[in-house]
Amino acid sequence: MWFRNLQLYRLSEPFGLDPEALHETLQQHAFKPCAGLDTHRVGWVPPAGRDATQLVHATAGRLMICLRREDRILPAAVIREHVEEKAEAIAEAEARPVGRKEKQRIKEEVIVDLLPRAFTRSSHLYAYIDPKDGWIVIDSGTAKKAEELLSTLRETLGSLRAKPLAVQRSPAKTLTQWLEKKPAREFVLGDECELKEPVDNGGVMRGKRIDVASAEVKSHLDTGMMVAKLAVDWQERISCLLCDDLGIRRLRFLDLVMEQAAEVDADDALARFDADFALMSMELANFLPAVVDAFGGLDED
């Protein structure tokens, strides 16, 4: 349940639904498996797992939700094989070549025939809404997947005014200054970075398990390269990669936090989920403002 990557959004207006009302609304778009010729399906499931019944898990005013996506697995190679077999059979039976348009029609017939029998693969995307502090936090390494969850949530709710996190200072310039001089208060440099030339298709330098403050790394900065990703630790509680697109990747909660989680006496899986969510969201409620402050504060425009 502990989030590993963060895509961050700010609520543009107050979020007025309580857990019960949000649950009832999400039920209108609850997950249903693929049927017939569906290539995929998305819908809401209980974030606390199969044994839970609520589509919203609320802790300390924060609302956890989970989007399930089910995709049909129909490899292109399998389709091509069936198309070629059918085309060859027609060519032999009718002693004529099979043209491109006819092959396209055969392909469509093959897909219609195979799709209902194809295996499916499911994925889950978690997020929580923090109405008090104005955050939507999505556990995703890419903005594309996060936008799918937001789009589905907007469709479910009818409207949802939220926008990607924007800050006053350029993240790339700020992170570059951290390497050139020193990081912001409360942050400590880690052992990984990615530098890029600030031009299209420019060079990239990636370093892992290195001294990011070394002269070698700084020599790349002297050529005009900028930081795209930088590993940092925060207050000995969180480590992560801060990125120039304001995504947060490889999020890890350190020993101080995990020891605190282990001290909680949870009787079952649901109690453990609740305790972990409460602790994780509390840590992020302190960490995210520190990140925003390091980048000069929110850009409300």
pLDDT at 51: 84
Question: Considering the entire predicted model, what is its pTM?
Answer: 0.90
- Boundaries of domain holding 81: 76-107
| Beta strands 40-45 and 62-73, pairing class | antiparallel
- Same domain, residue pair 150 and 25: yes
- Same domain, residue pair 129 and 33: yes
Sequence-ordered list of residues with C-beta below 8 angstroms from that of 177, at least 6 positions apart, any chain: none
- Same domain, residue pair 151 and 181: no
- For the segment 283-295, what is each residue's pLDDT rounded down to a tens digit? 999 999 999 999 9
pLDDT at 300: 80
pLDDT at 213: 86
In this structure, is residue 224 part of a structural domain?
Answer: yes
Judge whether 253 and 4 are in contact, CB under 8 Å.
no
- Same domain, residue pair 48 and 151: yes
| Beta strands 204-208 and 62-73, pairing class | unpaired
CA distance 211 to 213: 5
- Same domain, residue pair 96 and 145: no
Which of left, alpha, beta for 210 (phi over 0: left; psi -120 to 50: alpha)?
A: beta
- For the segment 135-162, what is each residue's pLDDT rounded down to a tens digit? 999 999 999 999 999 999 999 999 999 9
The total number of structural domains that make up the chain: 3
